[in-house]
């Protein structure tokens, strides 16, 4: 499984046999510890410091597992562009209802009877956004953990911003109570890994991670998971005529069709100004940005004007969060640029 993961571009590192923690190597790491950049193991092609040593080099991995066949498998999420939703089912007292879904107030009239795990809070978040429960998403890799939880694997947009790790119990950055996030700066236990508690087992369905759903990307941005990075501006689309599939030059009509499609989505974003919460603002802005990226890729509009219109609409609806607005817009534009959109023209 280690080489299977690595051959698909996921950097792998060993976990200590029977555990879900990284395997140490040099004496310093077994004792007081030292910074990863000062560890001599890496220069010698040896494992150490967990995901800092993760690699896709098959020869190196074969050597490591020949040295210890009982190693578990860890995957470094950041370099792999993985976002794994880690759903816990720990026995714990229910926190105040306002901590169940950070940033989303839960009215006292909502009956929370039976809510006791991350499965429940993630289902509540999905229902609030009118989206399918990620735990039932058979289009992506899902892994049952020995403790009764679940890992839901997704791919982050290749050219978009990354997302940071978090704990569902955190009072600062969290997606939902008992729902952790494994992403940049962390690792995830790969399926088939065996610990003293049991085996990490892939569930029926897809065996590879699917693209991160737009609504989950928007939720991660809303809850502060976006890794601050300097935005990379997509290449400006040509302003001149664009050729259709038949090779005939197209004049202003494709542009007008693009403006029409984006305009209706921008109207939805601006309408969120009427209410400060409960309007799915982040999802609507993400959808508009994704569509704009596709229109830019198809040559119907330019990236500069789309970015301006998107940020203008976002500022109108949510003027108190300019940085988050930028992150959502940039992520959507990058993701959409991989899927050109050719809207149908109206007669």
Per-residue pLDDT of the chain (347 residues; tens, 9 = 90+): 889 888 888 999 999 899 998 887 666 666 556 566 666 666 666 676 677 778 888 988 999 899 889 999 999 998 899 999 999 998 888 888 888 999 998 888 888 888 999 999 999 999 999 999 999 999 999 999 999 999 999 998 766 668 999 998 887 899 999 999 999 989 999 999 999 999 999 999 999 999 999 889 889 988 989 886 433 333 333 333 333 333 333 344 455 777 788 888 988 898 888 887 888 889 899 999 999 988 888 888 888 778 878 888 888 888 888 888 888 988 888 888 888 888 764 33
DSSP 97-142: GGGTSTTS---TTS--TT--SHHHHHHHHHHHTT---GGG-TTS-E
| Domain assignments of the chain as residue spans, ordered by start | 2-75, 81-212, 251-336
Distance CA(305)–CA(307), nearest Å, equals 5
Which pTM does this prediction carry?
0.66
CATH architecture of 81-212: 2-Layer Sandwich (3.30)
Between CA 326 and CA 328 the distance in angstroms is 6
Tokens 């959409």 belong to: 336
326: left (phi over 0), alpha (psi -120 to 50) or beta: alpha
Task: Give the model's pLDDT for residue 234.
Answer: 34
Residue 31: the pLDDT is: 59
Q: What is the DSSP letter of 176?
A: B
Residue 71's pLDDT is 93
Ordered alpha helix ranges (H), the chain:
2-7, 27-30, 58-67, 77-80, 118-128, 214-222, 253-271, 281-297, 303-317, 322-336
Phi and psi angles of residue 210, each rounded to the nearest 5 degrees, phi first: -90, 170
């Amino acid at each position: 499984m280690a080489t299977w993961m690595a051959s698909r571009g996921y950097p792998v590192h060993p976990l200590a046999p029977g555990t879900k923690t990284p395997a140490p190597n040099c004496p310093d790491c077994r004792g007081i510890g030292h910074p990863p950049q000062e560890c001599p193991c890496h220069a010698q092609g040896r494992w150490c410091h967990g995901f800092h040593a993760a690699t896709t080099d098959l020869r190196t991995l074969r050597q490591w597992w020949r040295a210890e066949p009982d190693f578990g498998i860890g995957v470094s999420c950041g370099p792999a562009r993985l976002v794994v939703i880690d759903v816990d089912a720990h026995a714990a007292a229910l926190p105040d209802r306002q901590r169940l879904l950070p940033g989303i107030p839960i009215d006292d009239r909502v009956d929370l009877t039976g809510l006791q795990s991350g499965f429940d809070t993630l289902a509540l978040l999905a229902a609030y956004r009118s989206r399918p429960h990620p735990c039932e998403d058979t289009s992506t890799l899902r892994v049952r953990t020995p403790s009764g939880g679940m890992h839901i694997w997704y791919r982050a947009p290749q050219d978009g911003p990354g997302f940071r790790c978090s704990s569902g119990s955190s009072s600062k950055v969290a997606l939902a109570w008992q729902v952790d996030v494994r992403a940049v700066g962390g690792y995830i236990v790969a399926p088939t890994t065996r610990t003293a508690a049991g085996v990490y087992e892939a569930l029926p369905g897809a065996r590879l991670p699917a693209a991160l759903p737009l609504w989950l990307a928007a939720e991660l941005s809303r809850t502060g998971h976006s890794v601050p990075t300097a935005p990379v501006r997509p290449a400006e689309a040509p302003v001149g005529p664009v050729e259709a599939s038949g090779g005939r030059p197209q004049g202003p009509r494709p542009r007008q069709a693009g403006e029409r499609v984006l305009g209706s989505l921008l109207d939805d974003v601006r309408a969120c100004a009427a209410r400060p919460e409960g309007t799915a603002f982040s999802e609507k802005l993400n959808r508009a940005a994704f569509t704009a990226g596709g229109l830019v890729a198809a040559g119907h509009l330019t990236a500069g004007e789309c970015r301006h219109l998107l940020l203008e609409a976002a500022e109108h609806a949510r003027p108190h969060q300019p940085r988050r607005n930028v992150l959502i817009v940039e992520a959507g534009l990058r993701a959409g640029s991989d899927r050109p959109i050719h809207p149908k023209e109206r007669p």
